[in-house]
Amino acid sequence: MDLREAIAQVERTFGIIGIPVLAAYVITIVMWTLRRKSARFKQMSNGWFDRFHLRPSAKARRAWVIGLSIFAAVAYLYCVYCGKSITEKAGHDAKFLHILVSYSLKTFPYFIAGCVLSAVIERFVRRDSRWLPKSMLGAGVFASILPICSCAAVPFSYSLMMTKRIPLRAVITFMMVVPVLNPFVIVFAGGVLGWTYVFWRIVSIFVLGMVTGVIVERFTGQLDPEMPEEGCTTCKGCSSGGVKLSQAESWWDAAYMLVVYLSPYIIIGMLVGAAFTVYLPPYIVGKYLSSSFFGLVLAAGAGVPIFLCSGEDVLILAPLVQMGLPMGHTIALTIAGNGICLSSIALLVPLFGKKATPWIVASFFFGSIAIGLFINAVTPLLG
């Protein structure tokens, strides 16, 4: 039995594995909700933790972070080199539990990577951020070399903002550019869709990221009263949940705190995202895309809820481009599908707040449509 056949056999059990996974997710969400809504339940649960010694020690937290990192690396290798894409599975009428496990495996590595990188940034770079880019252009260039998706981009960007040395506009630019310009996907896209597509992909997300950075800073940015000379380095409502990474004793302790704090939000995103994948699979979206304005709106609108990562957008778009899908429609789906998804939106709210999140999500949607219209208008003139 070769490796791929062994993995295929494991994938056949995803429907069964999905039962305890779903149960764990539901229990986590219920407990989290009760602790937030009921002070009495929170007090009782804290008593249970203390009574049964359930609070992990520093050594246990470190072991948890290391174990999660190893599991995330294995899941990433599986998703990139061995497993079928979620698009393929949805196309074969996979059930919800099967898609939920696949979606979790796709999201989990990037989420853990984002939390760990955020902790490292917070602990080791906060006091010496001279090497971090301060301009929007520099932030975009820095983002373009990191192979992470939007689920990692949000906590990573939050850690950059928490240094209080980088303008908010640069942080937003970084967060929008990094999932779209994954270096591996760019090379892959160049070979499949051509370098004209790659050119528009790069230019479009840089422009959209910079414009959004200026808008978000203008309407939600605020000065740090302790360092007003740094300008707007945070936003109103950012980190309203109060995760205090600066109180951590070490980087792995900070990573553990961030994972625990954000886990309920990413779980909500994965549950909703898996449901969208089952009932609105990407291949269905591709089937109804057209060269009309409605098709452009569909490309931008459907790109937000569906999960596209690791080049899945390229696989969906390749046959459509060959059938004559306009370049503007192609770029609109690329930006919306890669730049933002339900899992990362769920992370935006606790970290960037309810004021900045709508601006960011709206920028991806309306910005994708505007860019698509512009590209469709100028493409005939250039060609």
> Could you report the per-residue pLDDT of 145-172, keeping only the tens digit for each?
887 777 888 888 888 888 788 899 999 9
pTM over 0.85: no
pLDDT at 21 over 90: yes
Measured CA distances, 273 to 99, 177, 302 (Å) = 10, 22, 12
Look at residue 2 and tell me whether its pLDDT is greater than 90.
Answer: no
The distance between the two most distant Cα atoms of the chain, rounded to a whole number of Å, is 72
Report CA-CA distances (Å) from 48 to 204, 237, 291.
52, 32, 59
Q: What is the arithmetic mean of pLDDT over 37-51?
A: 77
pLDDT of res. 159:
84
Out of 16-20, 29-33, 50-54, 359-363, pick the least confident.
Answer: 50-54
When pLDDT is cut at 50, 70 and 90, the band that residue 377 belongs to is very high
Cβ burial 305-344 (10 Å sphere, 16+ → b, else e) = bbbbbbbbbbbbbbebbeeebbbbbbbbbbbbbbbbbbbb
Does the structure show a pLDDT above 60 at 292? yes
| Mean pLDDT within 173-192 | 86
| Nearest alpha-carbon partner for 286 in 153, 90, 94, 99 | 90
- Tell me the average pLDDT across 105-118: 86
The tens digit of pLDDT for each residue in 210-224 reads: 999 999 999 888 877
pLDDT at 24 exceeding the cut of 90: yes
The predicted model gives 331-337 an average pLDDT of 87
Q: How far apart are CA 73 and CA 47, in angstroms?
A: 35
Task: Round the average pLDDT of the chain to a whole number and report it.
Answer: 82
Alpha carbons 329 and 373: distance in angstroms, whole number: 8
Tell whether the model's pLDDT for residue 63 goes beyond 80: yes
Across 271-297, average pLDDT: 75
Residue 254 pLDDT: 84
Q: Do 215 and 359 touch, CB atoms closer than 8 A?
A: yes
- Among 249-253, 272-276, 301-305, 347-351, top mean pLDDT goes to 347-351
Residue with the bigger pLDDT between 309 and 328: it is: 328
Q: What percent of the chain has pLDDT over 90?
A: 21
Q: What is the pLDDT of residue 204?
A: 95
> Picking from 97-101, 114-118, 168-172, 317-321, which range would have the lowest pLDDT averaged per residue?
317-321
Residues 6+ apart with CB under 8 A from 215: 359, 363
List beta partners, residue 235: 221
pLDDT average, residue stretch 250-276: 85
CA–CA gap between residue 65 and residue 69 (Å, rounded): 6
The full 3-state SS of the chain, as one line of letters, equals: CCHHHHHHHHHCCHHHHHHHHHHHHHHHHHHHHHHHHCHHHHHHHHHHHHHCCCCCCHHHHHHHHHHHHHHHHHHHHHHHHHCCCHHHHHHCCCCHHHHHHHHHHHHHHHHHHHHHHHHHHHHHHCCCCCCCCCCHHHHHHHHCCCCCCHHHHHHHHHHHHHCCCCCHHHHHHHHHHCCCCCHHHHHHHHHHHCHHHHHHHHHHHHHHHHHHHHHHHHHHEEECCCCHHHCEEEECCCCCCCCCHHHCCCHHHHHHHHHHHHHHHHHHHHHHHHHHHHHCCHHHHHHHCCCCHHHHHHHHHHHCCCCCCCCHHHHHHHHHHHCCCCHHHHHHHHHHHHHCCHHHHHHHHHHHHHHHHHHHHHHHHHHHHHHHHHHHHHHHHHC
Six token digits for residue 291: 């060269």
The residue type of 367 is: G
In this model, does residue 320 exceed pLDDT 70?
yes
Provide the token pair at 190.
């160049």
Quick one: average pLDDT of 102-109? 85
Q: What is the mean pLDDT of residues 202-209?
A: 95
Read off the pLDDT of each residue in 244-264 and give the average, rounded to a whole number.
Answer: 80
Is it the case that residue 374 has pLDDT exceeding 60? yes
Domains in the chain: boundaries: 56-382
Sorting pLDDT into bands at 50, 70 and 90, what band is 205? very high
* pLDDT for residue 337 is more than 60: yes
Q: In degrees rounded to 5, what are phi and psi of residue 49?
A: -60, -45
